[in-house]
């Protein structure tokens, strides 16, 4: 779970920096689409991660994921526009709730696989936001170093996948032993 928290923290930080430094010459619809993409991926990931970390207390996990996702939507949408701010808050809350409810319906291994998919989505979202920032702020830099940026983006995604699958993997036999001992 530590790898998941580190990955989502870095990805959200990159996204926040990209949004705050990005020139806001887009129209309201573009800003709302950015907010929907960012708040949905981060809210879903936070909901999955919090509920997977604390499965015994579903209600509190649900409340924490709703609150954290709403704060992220508020914080990122604050820079853009009021409609984008509202979109970020409510999309983040809905995605956090969906992530929490999905984890409750799945087994541990399926929930961990879903967490990996969500972390890869958040990583791709932060890479997209940073690429959009570079294309608007430094268009010549992006066009001259586009292959390097794409290769480094793929390396980041592979690093997330490798670190998650090699360091966070819990053998199923240990899970069954713990689950059986908890029933007794």
pLDDT digits (tens, 9 = 90+) for 117-144: 888 888 888 888 888 877 777 778 777 7
Domain enclosing residue 58, as ranges: 2-183
Residue with tokens 């541990």: 108
Residues in the chain: 184
Domain tally, the chain: 1
Among positive and negative, which fits the CA dihedral 171, 100, 66, 164? positive
Torsion of CA 53, 97, 27, 127, to 10 degrees: 20
For the chain, the three-class secondary structure string (H helix, E strand, C coil) is: CHHHHHHHHHHHHHHHHHHHHCCCCCCHHHHHHHHHHHHHHHHHHHHHHHHHHCCCCHHHHHHHHHHHHHHHHHHHHCCCCHHHHHHHHHHHHHHHHHHHHHHHHCCHHHHHHHHHHHHHHHHHHHHHHHHHHHHHHCHHHHHHCHHHHHHHHHHHHHHHHHHHHHHCCCCHHHHHHHHHHHHC
pLDDT tens digits, one per residue of 50-93: 998 888 888 999 999 999 999 988 888 887 778 888 888 999 99
Model confidence, pTM: 0.77
Of residues 154 and 169, which shows the higher confidence score?
A: 154
Cα-only R_g, the chain: 18
What per-residue confidence (pLDDT) applies to 103?
A: 92
171 pLDDT tier (thresholds 50, 70, 90): low
């Amino acid at each position: 779970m530590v790898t998941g928290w580190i990955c989502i923290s870095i990805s959200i930080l990159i996204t926040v920096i990209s949004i705050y430094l990005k020139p806001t010459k887009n129209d309201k619809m573009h800003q709302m689409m950015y907010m929907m993409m960012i708040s949905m991926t981060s809210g879903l990931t936070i909901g999955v991660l919090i509920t997977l970390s604390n499965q015994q207390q579903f209600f509190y996990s649900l409340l924490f994921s709703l609150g954290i996702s709403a704060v992220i939507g508020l914080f990122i949408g604050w820079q853009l526009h009021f409609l984008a701010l509202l979109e970020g808050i409510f999309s983040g809350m809905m995605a956090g709730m969906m992530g929490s409810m999905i984890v409750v319906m799945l087994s541990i291994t399926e929930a961990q696989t879903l967490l990996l998919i969500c972390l890869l989505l958040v990583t791709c979202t932060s890479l997209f936001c940073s690429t959009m920032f570079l294309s608007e702020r430094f268009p010549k830099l992006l066009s001259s170093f586009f292959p390097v940026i794409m290769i480094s983006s793929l390396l980041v995604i592979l690093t997330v996948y490798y670190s998650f699958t090699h360091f966070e993997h819990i053998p199923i036999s240990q899970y069954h032993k713990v689950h059986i001992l908890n029933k007794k």
